[in-house]
Structure 1
Amino acid sequence: MNHPIGVIDSGVGGLTVVHELMRQLPKEKLIYIGDTLRCPYGPRPKKEVKKFTWEMVRFLLKKNIKMLIVACNTATAFALTELQENLDIPVLGVIQPGARSAIKATQTNHIGIIGTEGTIRSEAYPIALKSIKANISVSALACPLFVPMVEQGILSGEQAENVISDSLQTINKDDDMDTLILGCTHYPLIKETIQKVMGKDVTLISSSEETARETSTILDVHHLLNIEEKIPNHQFYATGNLNIFTKISQSIFKYENLGKLTIENVKI
């Protein structure tokens, strides 16, 4: 089926998931909307996050999408179940795939999670991890400064390193923690600096690859895979200023031929 896959996020972070979807599913057209105007979602009340999430979803449903990916951990934590219960298309979040990847990676049975205030407050990751492996040890830390920094386009350098180092001081003291889940899709954009601060012995887990693999499986099971050979024309939308959104998009996708791409501003 040549209908597009819809992807939503609070801002630019979900582009890390989109990149992996493009790589693993090169025939699929993607329509992405990032709510850059109202980002970040992490400090917002659950009711507000759900309202904003549904506004993005309704925008994508008008595009006749065949599957929805919630590429925002906060929206996944607060709205995924409701979306799955009310939509007649497959809906996938990023928390369960990230939890599975972390379980595979850990050797010490101690996993750390960093995310927005909303994601950490929801305890969605500890619940997901313990549903897979009951005796797992979990340390969680909210990092509210990361998303605003990324949305400003500050992805590396002294300022980024200082913010990340200060934010991760507490969780970096857990000696036997060998795996850290980047529990926000913005965080892979600053992954190199996070790795530098945490040290080479800690494996960083992004849910992007696992989410793309699960998307492929779901499309296959539901007979929704696109079999057309033509190059897809991906559409990206942002609710706020396009300058930084476009800059980050170009930095992620510029070296690869992953289809045609248009970027537009939208009101929802």
Structure 2
Amino acid sequence: MRSAPLGFFDSGVGGLTVVRAAQHLLPHEDIVYLGDTARVPYGSKSPETIREFAAQDVRFLMDHGVKAIVIACNTATAHALPALREEFDLPILGVIGPGVEATLADPDTERVGIIATRGTIRSHAYQHALAQRRTGLILHAQAAPLLVPLIEEDWLEHPATEAALHTYLDPMVDKGIDALLLACTHYPLLMPVLRSFLPDEIRLVDSASTCAIHLSEELSRLDLLNDSTDPGTLQIHLTDLSEQFEMLARRFLNHPPGKIRRATL
């Protein structure tokens, strides 16, 4: 099983930021990525529908012989991870647990800001996980619905993006947050602009890099690390193909995505 590929899925292509982080840490692993772009976003769907879609995504990846699966989507992790682990007999990881653990890695952290899509904030998954692991935390959770479309327009340094970030984050900064958890896989692309105006003492935690670190640790623990010395390969499958999705895939990976295949679920 060590030479089998890793599977990743998301409702769109934002989860490729998790793939990018994984490729950096695990350069010899082959990866199969599924983006359910025909049904994006999952955040506007009911929890039951999200679980149904996520199970279909897992079956697609299992058909490609993967040894482990990463849910590279905060909404799907929040609503489907326990059910998927119960139904399928292979390691399945989500992005929420690693992000929470990284947020709490500093024992002095007392006030945590969370920004995410409406679906993730409404699920209270991060709020519950943080509160269960450390009592006395003060949490400030903010849905930031404008950020994903701004990122997908490549307006990372546009005044509109900075204005939206100030609107969402200034109240948290005024309340003295110690850490800001970026609870959407699109948001790592905002790190440079966030660092340009947030106070230095606010620690930024993104769910993409923390998930990749957790994946590496789990593969090592399970003795599933690929022992090949060859560079890993990446297959991208999308349920709907368009020039926009190909452009976004390039942006999230920070390199050409190669041939993108059409997936049928």
Aligned residues: 264
Cα distance between partner residues in 2 of 1:86 and 1:52: 14
Give the corresponding residue for 2:181: 181
Give the corresponding residue for 2:139: 138
Cα distance between partner residues in 2 of 1:116 and 1:106: 27
Cα distance between partner residues in 2 of 1:7 and 1:218: 15
Aligned to 2:85, what secondary structure does the other structure show?
helix
Cα distance between partner residues in 2 of 1:253 and 1:144: 22
**1:56-67, aligned counterparts within 5 Å?**
56-67=57-68
Do the aligned partners of 1:233 and 1:261 also contact (CA within 8 Å) in 2? no
Cα distance between partner residues in 1 of 2:233 and 2:151: 26
After TM superposition, the structure 1 stretch with the greater mean CA deviation from structure 2, 107-116 or 18-27, is 107-116
Taking structure 2 as the reference length, what is the TM-score of the superposition?
0.90
Cα distance between partner residues in 1 of 2:258 and 2:225: 20
Do the aligned partners of 1:72 and 1:94 also contact (CA within 8 Å) in 2? yes
Cα distance between partner residues in 2 of 1:10 and 1:161: 26
After TM superposition, the structure 1 stretch with the greater mean CA deviation from structure 2, 220-229 or 78-87, is 220-229
Do the aligned partners of 2:19 and 2:253 also contact (CA within 8 Å) in 1? no
Do the aligned partners of 2:99 and 2:207 also contact (CA within 8 Å) in 1? yes
Give the corresponding residue for 1:96: 97
Do the aligned partners of 1:9 and 1:71 also contact (CA within 8 Å) in 2? yes
Unaligned runs of 5+ in 1: none
Aligned to 2:259, what secondary structure does the other structure show?
strand
Cα distance between partner residues in 2 of 1:238 and 1:42: 18
Shift of residue 148, structure 1, vs aligned partner: 3.0
Deviations 1:65-95 (CA, angstroms, capped at 9, x unpaired): 1101011111100000001111110011011
Provide the alpha-carbon RMSD of the alignment.
2.2
Do the aligned partners of 2:30 and 2:234 also contact (CA within 8 Å) in 1? yes
Give the corresponding residue for 1:266: 263
Deviations 1:31-69 (CA, angstroms, capped at 9, x unpaired): 111222322222322122222222222211110111010
Counterpart residue identity of residue 114, structure 1: I
Is 1:75–2:76 an aligned residue pair?
Answer: yes
Give the corresponding residue for 1:16: 17
Unaligned runs of 5+ in 2: none
**1:143-158, aligned counterparts within 5 Å?**
143-158=144-159
Give the corresponding residue for 1:216: 216
Is 1:251–2:251 an aligned residue pair?
Answer: yes
